[in-house]
Structure 1
Amino acid sequence: MADLDLQGAQVLGPEGLDRQALHIVGGLISDAPAGRPVSLEGYLVLPGIVDAHGDGFERHLAPRRGAMKQMGEGLIAVEAELAANGITTAVLAQFISWEGGLRGLEFADEVFQAIAETAPTLVTDLRPQLRFETHLLDLYDSLPERLARWGVDYIVFNDHLPHARLADGRTPPRMVGQALKAGRNPEDHFALMQRLHAQRHKVPGALDALCTQLGSRGLRLGSHDDTTAAERFEWHERGATIAEFPETQEAAEAARTHGDGIVLGAPNVVRGGSHNGNVSALDLIAMGFCDALASDYHYPSPRRAALMLADSGVVDFATAWRLVSEGPARLLGLEDRGTLVPGQCADIVVLDATTYRVAATMVRGRFSYLSGDIAERVFAA
C-alpha cells in the first residue's frame, strides 16, 4: 500500500472537476499531504467504478463447457479485466435457474465457493449476488442456509419462464438448444418448464414468506426485469427495494415513487437502446429514473456510458460519473466509497484526459491496474 500525493491532475470532487492534489494515506483519502508526490498532469482522477451487477465473469470461469476446473484462476482473470476497466468494486451476479448448466445449482455452488476462497486474496472488492428464478419452489426451504454458507447477502429475483407459450402448450423458441446446453433431454426440459409453470399460483405466497425470512437476516433484496407498476409495488412490499433493469417506464417510475433504487444497464446506454426492445436507459436517465449504471454483461460499458452521457449533454460530467460510483455504492450500502473526500477509501480510476482510456486503477490505496506512462511516473526515483 503506497502513500502518495497525486498532483497536477483534474480530480473529481464534490464540486466537479478541479485541478487539485489528492492525498492517499493508509489506503484512505487524506486532507493533508503525507506521501511521495506523483505528477499526473494530463490525467483525470475519478472515484473508482462500483459495478452493482455484472455477469461478464462467466466467460472466464467457463470459457467452454467443462474446460475450466480451477475457478480461482478464472476469478484472477476476472479481476484483471475489471481493473483494466476502472472497476474497483464488482458484484458478480450468478444465476440459479431451471435453465440448468451454467445457471444450475451445482455450478452456482462452485462459483460461490470460489468467490469466498479467492476474493480475499485479490485487490478488487468482489461481491457475490444470487439471481434466483422464482418458480424453483423446491429450493425455498434450503435457500436461506445455502446463502449463509456461500456468504451471499444480496439476492435478486426474476422469472424467465415463457408463461404465455407454456399456457398454450407451445414449445418456446430455442428450447432444444437450451436443453442440450444444460445436458438435458429436450422433452425432459420442456416437461420441467411445464411443471414449474403449473405451480405458478403457489409462488406469490411462497415469495412473501421467503423474503420476510431473508429480510430478517439482513439480506439485500431486489427484483429483475419488472414490467408493471403493480409488479414493482409487490416487490417493494416484500422488501425488495432495488429494481434491476426495469423493462418499462411505468415500472421505473413506480420504483422512484416508492423510493426504491434503480439499476440500469450501461450497455443499453452505449448501444443507444435495449437489444430486446425494452425502454431506453437514456430516456430513463433523462427523466431521473436511475441510481446506478451496471456492466450487465460488458465490463467496459460503465466507463463508456458515463462518458457518453456527459459528452452528449444528457447530464453533466459529475452527475454522469456519480451513476457508476457514488450512486451504486449507496445503493449497496457501501458508505465508505464512491467519492474522493477525506476519510473515504482510496478507490480511484485514472483516465487519460484526451483518450479517456484507463491508465490506472487503485483499491484502498493498492494498485490493481497500472499502465505504461503512469507506471513510469509512480516508480520514478
Structure 2
Amino acid sequence: MSSLELTLTGADVLMPENGLTSGELSIADGLVQSGRAGRQIDLSGYFVLPGIIDLHGDGFERHIAPRRGAMKQMAEGILSVEAELAANGITTAVLAQFHSWEGGVRGPEFAGQVFEAIAAVRDDVVTDLIPQLRFETHMLDDYEGLPELIESWQVPYVVLNDHLPHDRLAEGRKPPRLTGQALKAGRNPETHFDMLLSMHARSTEVPAALDGLCVKLTERGIRLGSHDDSTSQDRTVWRDRGVMISEFPETLEAAEAARAGGDHIILGSPNVVRGGSHKGNASALDLITMGLCDALASDYHYPSPRRAALMLVKSGLLDLTNAWALVSSGPAEVLGLKDRGVLQPGKRADLVILDAATQRVAATLSGGRVSYMSGDVATRFLS
C-alpha cells in the first residue's frame, strides 16, 4: 500500500540525539528519510513525536461487545478499535484478549473469534495490530493443544494471569460479584462457584503444567509475560520459566526483583494519570522515580499513554525525551521491534503530531500512512 512522501517543516521534532528541536522530518516509502522527500508541509505550532506503541490494552472490549450479544460482526468492532487507537496517537497496539474462566467476552470461544477478526482486518488497517493472549493459569483442562491454538491464531505474545480469588475460595466463601459474573458467562451461579472451587483445589498441579507450557511456547518463539507479580519469589519463578516481562508488578519488591534480574517492567499509564493504582498497588509514579519502568501501557484506557508521558514532563519528573521513550522506544525494545520507536532515518515513519498549545493529537501516521487527522492540521496537508 502506498505511503506519503513528504517533508515536514517548522515543527518541533523529538529526535533521539537532540530532544525536541526545531527541524525537518522527511518520510517516503513508509520510512523516515535522511534527506528531503516530496512536497513540504509547514507544521509550525506543532510537535512531531514518535508514534505511541501500546504494549497492553484491553480497552477494545467495549467496541467488540458493547452489550452482551450485541456485536455480531467482530471485524467491524476491530475497525472501530483502530479508529480510537489512531485518534490517541497509537501506531502499534497490542490487543490483550483474555482466555479466562470468566467467560463471555473473556471466554476461550470469544478469544478465538477476536483473533480471527484481527487477522481478517490486519491488512486493511493502518495501525499495526498485535494480538496478545492473556491465559488464566488455573484452566488446567485447556493446556492440551493450547500452543497449537496460539500458533494458529498468529499470537506472538502470551501473558499468564491468575485472577482466581484464592483467599475466599480457600474459606469456601463466594467471591463478590459472583452472580453477575456467572450470568455474563452464561452459567448458573452455583455451577460457576463450583467451577472456581474445583480450579482452586487443583492449584498444586499448576506449577508443573506451567513449566511444560512455557517450554512449548518458548520453543515457538512466543514472547512471555507475567501479570501482577507481588513478590520477588514470583518474579524468580517466572524468570526461571523464561517469562521475561513483568506486567504491572503490584509491589516495589516485585519490581526491584524484575530489575535485578534484567526483566522488562511494564506499568499502567492510567496509574500515572490517576496518581496511583485503583487497586491500591504500588504507585507507578514511585516506580518510575526509582527507575523501575521500561514502558507504559494503556491497560484499559487508550488516551492515557500520551497523557501519562506529558504529565511526567509537566511534573518535572522526566524530560520529554525520557518520558516519551516510555511510550515509544521503550515498548519497541520490550517487543523486539527494532524498526520503530524513534524518528531516525531507516525506521518506520510512525509518528504523532500534537498541537503545541493544547498537546492534543492532531494527526497520526503509521508506516507513513495517515490513520488519523483532524482540525486545522488537515488544511496544511491538503492545501
TM range, smaller chain: over 0.9
Q: Could you report, residue by residue, the CA deviation over 1:276-305 in whole angstroms, capped at 9, with x for unpaired residues?
A: 100000000000000110000000000000
Q: Of the candidates 92, 107, 120, which is equivalent to residue 117 of structure 1?
A: 120
Per-residue deviation at 1:373? 1.2
- The corresponding residue for 2:272 is 269
SS at match of 1:302: helix
Give the structure-2-normalised TM-score. 0.99
Q: Could you report, residue by residue, the CA deviation over 1:179-237 in whole angstroms, capped at 9, with x for unpaired residues?
A: 11211100000000000001100000110111011101100000000000000110011
- The corresponding residue for 2:72 is 69
- The corresponding residue for 1:161 is 164
Q: Of the candidates 211, 229, 234, which is equivalent to residue 208 of structure 1?
A: 211
Alignment of structure 1 residues 176-191 onto 2, 5 Å: 176-191=179-194
Alignment of structure 1 residues 144-293 onto 2, 5 Å: 144-293=147-296
SS at match of 1:52: strand
Q: Does 1:96 align with 2:99?
A: yes
Q: Distance in 1 between matches of 2:307 and 2:70?
A: 31
Q: Distance in 2 between matches of 1:372 and 1:174?
A: 44
Alignment of structure 1 residues 280-319 onto 2, 5 Å: 280-319=283-322
Q: Does 1:39 align with 2:42?
A: yes
Per-residue deviation at 1:374? 1.2
Give the aligned residue type for 1:200: S
Per-residue deviation at 1:174? 1.1
Q: Distance in 1 between matches of 2:4 and 2:149?
A: 38
Q: Does 1:134 align with 2:146?
A: no
- The corresponding residue for 1:106 is 109
SS at match of 1:44: strand
Q: Does 1:377 align with 2:376?
A: no
Q: Distance in 2 between matches of 1:258 and 1:367?
A: 40
Q: Could you report, residue by residue, the CA deviation over 1:108-167 in whole angstroms, capped at 9, with x for unpaired residues?
A: 111011011111210000010000000011111110010011000100001011111111
- The corresponding residue for 1:338 is 341
Q: Of the candidates 7, 11, 15, which is equivalent to residue 5 of structure 1?
A: 7
Per-residue deviation at 1:2? 1.2
Give the aligned residue type for 2:183: L
Q: Does 1:355 align with 2:358?
A: yes
Give the aligned residue type for 1:3: E
Q: Could you report, residue by residue, the CA deviation over 1:165-184 in whole angstroms, capped at 9, with x for unpaired residues?
A: 11111111111111112111
Aligned-residue CA RMSD (Å): 0.6
SS at match of 1:350: strand
- Residue ranges of structure 2 left out of the alignment (5+ in a row): none
Give the aligned residue type for 2:15: G
- Residue ranges of structure 1 left out of the alignment (5+ in a row): none
Q: Could you report, residue by residue, the CA deviation over 1:303-347 in whole angstroms, capped at 9, with x for unpaired residues?
A: 000000001011111100000000001100101000001000000
Per-residue deviation at 1:372? 2.0
- The corresponding residue for 2:328 is 325
Q: Distance in 2 between matches of 1:176 and 1:66?
A: 18
Give the aligned residue type for 1:95: F
SS at match of 1:88: strand
Q: Distance in 2 between matches of 1:177 and 1:128?
A: 28
Q: Distance in 2 between matches of 1:112 and 1:170?
A: 35
Give the aligned residue type for 1:268: N
The more displaced of 369-378 and 194-203 is: 369-378
Q: Distance in 2 between matches of 1:350 and 1:289?
A: 28
Q: Distance in 2 between matches of 1:266 and 1:248?
A: 16
Q: Does 1:26 align with 2:29?
A: yes
Give the structure-1-normalised TM-score. 0.99
SS at match of 1:360: strand
Give the aligned residue type for 1:185: N
Q: Of the candidates 73, 78, 86, which is equivalent to residue 89 of structure 2?
A: 86
Q: Percent identity?
A: 66
Q: Distance in 1 between matches of 2:174 and 2:213?
A: 31
